[in-house]
Chain A
């Protein structure tokens, strides 16, 4: 199916897609925030975040909240563009399938 070619491999996993969509919607989310939203284990969540980071789609910011270290994640410009492209491809896939 030609529409599938537009899909981004880094965003094909549903957890990585959800992470990107949540970041596009809310701006910045911490590791704990993702855990609450996505109901994932630390290991799985960390692995999915690492893959997006390696793809250059995530920017990290380290901070302290009530003296505890917190890592905040945000979409990079490339990440936002990739998400828009991926969502457009998904719409094509759905239109083709429907």
Chain B
């Protein structure tokens, strides 16, 4: 559309469709596959520990949550620089979501630390907090996390209602598989032209 040409609504419509299409191309990031795979591995190991080596659960999650968080941040920043879009507002949204998640984890740990709840119940509360965080991340940040979050909440319900053997291990394997599947979907979407 130029000033000297007669005004044409069709041309304007096409121009605005083009702009809208360019904006929608990155409307919802698909996520960074390496981060999905990283947390699939951490969760598969970390969820099996309460069943097979309960004494190692606390130290493992202390190290894995901090180390995994930092590694995820680095992988996310690297993917963003590679994609050629440095979106500080989106970065802030991710930071706020997972930062609030960190506070929620500390608050979930508090009753365990003070001995106000049994270890098994306190551990299940972590699953509830994590499930909620993942499900909300799936709603607000990356759709791939939604199913993993819902699976965690379902596992929390099973853990709370039934005393099944190896529930933690089975929950971990299911969640890890859902994260790996989300990672593979993200990788396919990126190969097809979507943005991490």
A23-72 residues with Cβ-Cβ distance < 8 A to B are 25-38, 65-66, 70, 72
Point out the residue from A7, A14, A93 that lies within 8 Å of B18, measured CB to CB: A14
| Residues of chain B having any CB pair with chain A under 8 Å | 1-3, 7, 9, 12, 14-16, 18-19, 22-23, 25-26, 81-90, 193, 195
Contact B7 A1 (CB under 8 A): yes
Contact B19 A33 (CB under 8 A): no
Interface size class of A (residues with CB under 8 A): 20 to 34
Would you give the shortest CB distance from A15 to chain B, in whole angstroms?
Answer: 8
Contact A32 B84 (CB under 8 A): yes
- Taken together as a complex, chains A and B put the C-alpha atoms of A22 and B19 apart, in Å, by 9
A82 CB–B CB distance under 8 Å: no
Contact A30 B3 (CB under 8 A): no
Known: A21-B19, A26-B90. A36 touches B193 (CB 8 A): yes
Known: A21-B19, A21-B23, A37-B25. A94 touches B12 (CB 8 A): yes
- Taken together as a complex, chains A and B put the C-alpha atoms of A26 and B86 apart, in Å, by 7
Point out the residue from A1, A18, A70 that lies within 8 Å of B84, measured CB to CB: A70
Contact B22 A31 (CB under 8 A): no
- Taken together as a complex, chains A and B put the C-alpha atoms of A6 and B193 apart, in Å, by 36
Q: In the complex, what residues of B have CB within 8 A of residue A25's CB?
A: 23
Would you give the shortest CB distance from B167 to chain A, in whole angstroms?
Answer: 43
Closest 8 CB pairs of A and B: A33-B84, A30-B84, A28-B86, A14-B15, A32-B84, A26-B87, A18-B22, A18-B19
Contact B12 A33 (CB under 8 A): no
Contact A28 B85 (CB under 8 A): yes
Contact A12 B1 (CB under 8 A): yes
Contact B86 A4 (CB under 8 A): no
Q: In the complex, what residues of B have CB within 8 A of residue A22's CB?
A: 22-23
Contact B7 A93 (CB under 8 A): yes
